Structure 1
């Protein structure tokens, strides 16, 4: 496993910073090597090329991102509380790492098919978490029982994604985490059965 090697994390973290600052296309491998404090050749012991670095950044960082979300929602009983915790944690993690937010929201939107497929593979785990929250909510009688889980999951992910993208585009001038409550309010009220 390449991510067990000592300099792997160093290179991944350097890549996030360099790509956030310069954009993917202007981030030469030599720039990433310099930031990581390694020789150019060292990078090729871990990665095939620049694209492989970008994919690995996403796999590594999104893996940690999803794990933290899973750990937070496991403590919540109700599906609605799980949804709230997921939204807060989604925003908090990107707010805490503005460079990573630039990379995930802007630089990963590459049009290459192979890149998209790899990204979708990693995102599947996140979408499964959302699916399970929706199914729990339906089973618990909190959410409407006729929900099209795939469609609703897209809507939830799309909403969170757009809110983060907007924050990045506005140069992260306001507090992203402060928006979690309102985003949860709107999504939750669309899902919940309102008992009179």
Structure 2
């Protein structure tokens, strides 16, 4: 396999996002991805084993960038409730800036086989760990209730963000996703904060 730092690798992944968003994963032949990327079909196999490998790689690549951007922003923020807001707002803004990627993550990744879903869940672990860190910090500094079931709260948080984005995708992005960040933060934060 060729190096992931080569420009064609990124070109192929970006093309795959567009092709899969337009045609659906099952109707996205490697030849369509190659054509969109402007490379020969065989070139794709220098970087990827098969179409499934392309899908997992694009999720790894995009999710890796996503997590490092959010982590960078969160590291600049002091309070746990503001970190939570930043995570919500960036989750929405990064997907609204790339509607094709939103279609792939919200719809196409869900229709994949069990092995593929397990690989994708592996990639998500870094993002979920980031949520856990924010929740732990908030419990320790008194921003959030100190007896939270972190795993359950993380599932609720991720599930909420995920559903809001899926709804936006299903409604063909007819409204601002980012405008919903404040209200989603308000609802979640008020459920988590220490009311004593």
Structure 1 match to 2:139: 138
Runs of at least 4 residues off by over 3 Å: none
1:33-182 counterparts in 2 under 5 A? 33-182=34-183
Q: 1:2 & 1:153 partners in 2: Cα distance?
A: 35
Per the TM alignment, residue 122 of structure 1 is displaced from its structure 2 partner at its CA by: 0.9
Q: 1:170 & 1:76 partners in 2: Cα distance?
A: 33
1:27 has 2:34 as partner:
no
Q: 2:102 & 2:159 partners in 1: Cα distance?
A: 15
Q: 1:170 & 1:47 partners in 2: Cα distance?
A: 33
Alpha-carbon displacement from aligned partner over 1:88-137 (angstroms, at most 9, x marks no partner): 00000000000000000000003412111111111100000000000000
Structure 2 match to 1:6: 7
148-157 or 111-120, larger mean C-alpha shift: 111-120
Per the TM alignment, residue 194 of structure 1 is displaced from its structure 2 partner at its CA by: 2.2
Q: 2:166 & 2:34 partners in 1: Cα distance?
A: 28
Which sections of structure 1, spanning at least 5 residues, go unmatched? none
Q: 1:129 & 1:25 partners in 2: Cα distance?
A: 32
Q: Could you say what secondary structure the match of 1:25 adopts?
A: helix
Which sections of structure 2, spanning at least 5 residues, go unmatched? none
Alpha-carbon displacement from aligned partner over 1:158-192 (angstroms, at most 9, x marks no partner): 00000000000000000000000000000000000
Q: 1:173 & 1:67 partners in 2: Cα distance?
A: 28
Structure 1 match to 2:17: 16
State the Cα RMSD in Å.
0.9
TM-score by length of 1: 0.97
Q: 2:25 & 2:113 partners in 1: Cα distance?
A: 13
Q: 1:21 & 1:76 partners in 2: Cα distance?
A: 38
